[in-house]
Amino acid sequence: MTHSYPLALSRRVLRILIKLNLLFGVLILALLVTSVVVEEPVMRALGAGSPEANAKLYLGMRLVAVIGLAGVPLVHFLLTRLLAIVDTVRDGNPFVMANAARLQRIAWAVLILELMHLAVAVIAAAVSTAAAPFDISRRFSLTPWLAVLLLFVLARVFEQGARMREELEGTV
């Protein structure tokens, strides 16, 4: 078993992030429902102006909230898989096929999340006007896309490592 402070800290941080993600999901859902039930006060508080003049903006804001809600289970999936990988490292057995599969699934989840970010940017651009801007401050960054590639490569590295370990154990 491997016990180290960074590993223990990683476990704690991941557990906190899992809970925060679920809390954010509840808050997004509450905001979305509230924006339908008491539309005008909520949208005015968010800076969207009157419903008559900004119906398209209201729709765009709600679509972004729906995408945010869709991201919650995806982030939960990602964080719980990462926590499982950290646990195998803690147990001293990280090069297993299960971790290769987890990394590949994490890579797919990050890719989907990035596509969701793009969808949010497209929605914001489509509903934004000079009179009612929808500025989400989302700039394109190559870093998350490189992280996706890195995760797919690491998944393959873990798969090869697990195979080599199985072969070595089979010869001993």
Report whether 128 contacts 66 (CB < 8 A). no
User: Domain segments of the chain: what residues?
Assistant: 5-171
Q: What are the pLDDT digits (tens) for 133-170?
A: 887 877 788 999 999 999 999 999 999 999 998 888 87
CA dist 30 → 36, 48, 61, 120, 136 (Å): 10, 18, 14, 19, 20
Q: What are the pLDDT digits (tens) for 28-37?
A: 999 999 998 9
In a 10 Å sphere around its CB, with 0-12 CB exposed, 13-18 middle and 19+ buried, how is residue 23 labelled?
exposed
* Element housing 66 (H / E): helix 55-90
CA dist 165 → 158, 168, 169, 172 (Å): 10, 5, 6, 11
- Using pLDDT thresholds of 50, 70 and 90, give the confidence band for residue 26: very high
Q: Can you state the percent helix, strand and coil of the chain, rounding each to 5?
A: 80, 0, 20
Report pLDDT for 71. 98
CA atoms within 13 A on the CB side of 90: 16
Statement: the pTM of the whole predicted model exceeds 0.95: no
CA–CA separation, 77 vs 84, rounded Å?
A: 11
